[in-house]
Amino acid sequence: MMKSEEYANKVVLVTGASRGIGYAIAEAFARQGYSLVGTATSHAGVEKITALCERYQINGTGLRMDVGSIQSIEEGMALITQDYGAPTILINNAAVVRDNLLLRMREDEWRTVMQTNLDAIYYLSKAVLKGMAKARWGRIVNISSVVARTGHAGQVNYAAAKAGMEGFTRSLASEMASRGITANAVAPGFIQTDMTQSLSELQREAILNNVPLKRLGQPQEVAAAVMFLASSEAAYITGATIPVNGGLMMG
Ligand code: NAP
């Protein structure tokens, strides 16, 4: 089978594909000719992903899904399976921040981050496993963060969710290894997206002082690590977390 045919036969689901890192990941899959479903929460986001699929002339679409809602995940998964077949590559990328010092953190700020960033990977991963087990091949790549290990003031919710995600990834990797399904994480440092747009000049300078490569990363540089983990060539890598952080945290 030609590589392009192999890619077209694989259905990829990327959550939060409307912007930033998720969009770069979706574009990397589209460029290689995979069948692609990318999710967004807004109509404009869905249109943007559908336009991406059209631009690369691939089988794929944007799909409205709120990963913080079980009902929305279930409805979305039913549509994907009906129209495209079971995804064998899942990229859990969608996430939100609700930063606050713990002393001031409201319960809704804690809950929203836990639901969107951690609960969602439970529901989505569970939903794709049957199809992957049937295909005896699957790739789950979870987008974590450097703060899962370093922690960050004002982000107890976000850091806890990302650290949870990494533990989830390692346990799932052990459970599914015998079926040809790998689960890995990619932990970006500071990447130029809407999420880091709100940093003040002072914060940006402080961050760059600690980054040996002296710049923010680009979404495409995170996508490159994701593409490798999602490939057949990465079959012997599972339960790993690949850092993409300009040297911000080594080892
Ligand atoms: P971003 O620019 O803020 O984009 C977030 C994406 O997630 C958007 O596509 C958004 O969709 C989607 N999303 C948000 N809430 C959602 C929900 N409830 N249901 C479905 N989708 C939802 O973020 P980013 O910087 O690209 O971050 C992508 C991933 O990388 C995240 O997991 C983040 O934690 C991680 N990360 C980022 C950095 C960084 O420096 N940027 C560093 C470390 C880790 P809409 O457009 O519809 O809102």
SS3 labels along 162-174? HHHHHHHHHHHHH
Query: Amino acid letter at 45?
Result: G
Sign of CA dihedral 174, 110, 26, 79: positive
**196 close to ligand 1 (CB < 6 Angstrom):** yes
**94 close to ligand 1 (CB < 6 Angstrom):** yes
**67 close to ligand 1 (CB < 6 Angstrom):** yes
From the CA of 216, give the closest atom in ligand 1: 40
| Cα 40 to Cα 95: distance, rounded to the nearest angstrom | 11
**142 close to ligand 1 (CB < 6 Angstrom):** no
| 236: annotated active-site residue | no
CA of 92 to the centre of ligand 1 (A): 10
Mutate to test the pocket of ligand 1, among 18, 27, 158, 195 (most ligand atoms within 8 A of CB): 195
**What's residue 198's pLDDT?**
83
Largest CA distance in the chain: 58
pTM over 0.95: yes
**What's residue 80's pLDDT?**
98
From the CA of 72, give the closest atom in ligand 1: 19
Among the listed residues 84, 122, 158, 236, the single catalytic one is 158
The helix (H) or strand (E) run that includes residue 241 is strand 241-244
CA of 22 to the centre of ligand 1 (A): 7
CA of 41 to the centre of ligand 1 (A): 11
DSSP H helical ranges for the chain? 3-8, 20-32, 43-55, 70-84, 107-114, 120-135, 147-150, 156-176, 194-197, 201-209, 219-230
Q: Are 238 and 182 within 8 A, CB to CB?
A: yes
**What's residue 106's pLDDT?**
98
Strand order in the sheet with 181-188: 60-64, 35-40, 11-14, 89-92, 138-143, 181-188, 241-244
Ordered mean pLDDT values, 10 residues apiece, the chain (251 residues): 86 98 98 98 98 98 97 97 97 97 98 98 97 98 98 97 98 98 98 89 91 97 98 98 97 83
**What's residue 113's pLDDT?**
98
Q: Which two tokens stand for residue 219?
A: 């979404």
**What's residue 149's pLDDT?**
97
Look at ligand 1, atom 33, and give the residue with the nearest C-alpha: 95
**171 close to ligand 1 (CB < 6 Angstrom):** no
Q: What are phi and psi of 101, to 5 degrees?
A: -65, 145
136 to 79, 82, 153, 225: CA distances (angstroms): 22, 20, 42, 23
**What's residue 10's pLDDT?**
97
**41 close to ligand 1 (CB < 6 Angstrom):** yes
Question: CB-based contacts of 54: which residues, under 8 Å, 6+ apart?
Answer: none
**What's residue 14's pLDDT?**
99
**39 close to ligand 1 (CB < 6 Angstrom):** yes
∠ Cα 16 114 219 (to 5°): 30
Look at ligand 1, atom 28, and give the residue with the nearest C-alpha: 21
**What's residue 178's pLDDT?**
97
**What's residue 3's pLDDT?**
78
Look at ligand 1, atom 48, and give the residue with the nearest C-alpha: 41
- The radius of gyration of the chain from alpha carbons, rounded to an integer in Å, stands at 17
